[in-house]
Structure 1
């Protein structure tokens, strides 16, 4: 079964690459998508719409352009993997999880046991909670009938 999987969340580690490589190693027919993970180009996503004098207005303009991409990719995916790292709070990932829940789009959270409590509502709506990339790959393998 071919799947489209949206990878959301933490951008400071190589978890995306590990999942993609693990799925390729298992010959899974999966297309992966993701929001822009480059800070500079994400922050400037709306700059082509005109220079802004206030940082808030620039951030808001770029956030809206980024949201077009994210909304489209989440709506199109079959399942989302939403990663919460330990170092930074990923409010965007929590928002993506909420959007998935509102669309009844299945998602798997990926995070350590240390942050179970602050993510209890996010995990409650998830179809699975994984603590390792290997668990995500095994779950995708099962879903893909491999």
Structure 2
């Protein structure tokens, strides 16, 4: 059985590559989808499609519409959502994606360090599983896919 996993979370580190490599090493039957990981492309996609915007606010709004469409389409195809909260960046998109998974009744594995327990306690309570590391999330996925 192959599943589709949406990898939600910050796009400034290579955590997705690490996650995919670990899943591949375990030969887990998973197809991964995610938000646009090329930060410049994500920021500029509105203007690429709609043309030059009059200012940064309009540019952000145009990009946001296209990126939200991408997220909705890919998340709807997913069987499971994994949302990673790191310690360095403000994670508004991760919170939005995790909340969207919950309201869409998508199973959710939330990865967050212990230091973020308190600010994410309500979201953690709504997730199906909350773990602290990528390795723990991989183990949970491996168990789900076990015969």
State the match for 1:84 in structure 2: 85
In 2, Cα distance between equivalents of 1:66 and 1:10: 14
- Superposed CA RMSD in Å reads 1.0
In 2, Cα distance between equivalents of 1:25 and 1:144: 14
State the match for 2:39 in structure 1: 39
Secondary structure class of the residue paired with 2:54: coil
State the match for 1:96 in structure 2: 97
Structure 2 length as normaliser, TM-score?
Answer: 0.95
**How far 1:17 sits from its partner (Å)?**
1.1
In 2, Cα distance between equivalents of 1:102 and 1:131: 23
State the match for 1:28 in structure 2: 28
* Contact kept? 2:10, 2:93, Cα under 8 Å: no
**How far 1:3 sits from its partner (Å)?**
0.7
In 2, Cα distance between equivalents of 1:68 and 1:83: 20
Q: Which runs of 4+ in 1 moved over 4 A?
A: none
**How far 1:12 sits from its partner (Å)?**
2.4
Number of aligned residues = 146
State the match for 2:5 in structure 1: 5
In 1, Cα distance between equivalents of 2:18 and 2:39: 20
**How far 1:13 sits from its partner (Å)?**
2.2
| Structure 2 unaligned blocks of 5 or more | none
In 2, Cα distance between equivalents of 1:88 and 1:67: 20
Larger RCO (CA within 8 A; separation ≥ 6): 1
| Structure 1 unaligned blocks of 5 or more | none
Q: Does 1:17 align with 2:22?
A: no
State the match for 2:123 in structure 1: 122
State the match for 1:54 in structure 2: 55
Secondary structure class of the residue paired with 1:53: coil
**How far 1:139 sits from its partner (Å)?**
0.7
Secondary structure class of the residue paired with 1:117: coil
State the match for 2:139 in structure 1: 138
**How far 1:15 sits from its partner (Å)?**
1.5
State the match for 2:74 in structure 1: 73
